[in-house]
Amino acid sequence: MESTRILAIRHGETAWNVGARVQGHLDIGLNDAGREQARRLAQALAGREPIDRLYSSDLARALDTARAVAEATGAPLAATTALRERHFGALQGRTFADVAASAPEMAEAWRRRQPDWTPPGGESLLLFRERVTQAVQALAAENMGRSIALFTHGGVLDVLYRAATGLGLQDARTWQLGNTAVNRLLWTPDSGLSLIGWADVTHLEDHALDESTA
């Protein structure tokens, strides 16, 4: 049976990642470390495996990461709002500690990952999961027999991991969602998503440096 090979990749680091601040749909760019991560990722993917098409969230932190890979590989790139992070509404720009101090009930619903809880002006986990899984299924079906790369966000990758492993929205997370980590999935029409490999960050290790990056 034909399948679609998927590389699902989180954007490079941002200043708000470092500050543990909720980004959501806010358009926060990469910091210097994030740009270096994207450069190393692009170098590794260009020399390691063929990619037919690239798809990215339209938010700058993901799109700029994808552009680095597009330039290195020559693969066509398309941006889509469907691969955006979860919309956290009024919580965007804040830290969990800030929310816990000012709105403890809201913080508790967030911490417990209540599937139907919606941040004011935002998106529930249920609606977020539906958006993400439908978008990825559509892209996978459109690219049957190809290898594609998705450049997206931590929350999106969390949804994809759960979909590929059968875990529920409230199951405890035991997997990493590192910046520019390469996560491998396979999609077939009959089985949907399955997990091939997760959290490959060998391109960020010291031995991955060449003379130009030392």
Q: Which of 13, 85, 87, 153 is catalytic?
A: 85
Q: How far apart are CA 211 and CA 214, in angstroms?
A: 5
Find tokens 């680095």 and name the residue: 68
The whole-angstrom separation of Cα 42 and Cα 207 is 16
CA 23/CA 10 separation, integer angstroms = 13
Q: Torsions phi, psi of 201, nearest 5?
A: -125, 30
Task: Please pick, among 11, 25, 153, 203, the residue that the annotation labels catalytic.
Answer: 11
Determine whether 11 is an active site residue. Answer: yes
Q: Which of 16, 37, 13 is nearest to 88 (CA)?
A: 16
Query: How many angstroms separate the CA atoms of 199 and 184, rounded?
Result: 9
Please report, as a single letter, which amino acid is at residue 25. H
Question: Could you give the CA distance from residue 108 to residue 27 in angstroms, rounded to a whole number?
Answer: 26
Distances (CA, A) of 151 to 32, 111, 124: 18, 26, 22
Q: Is 36 annotated as catalytic?
A: no
Catalytic residues: 11, 85
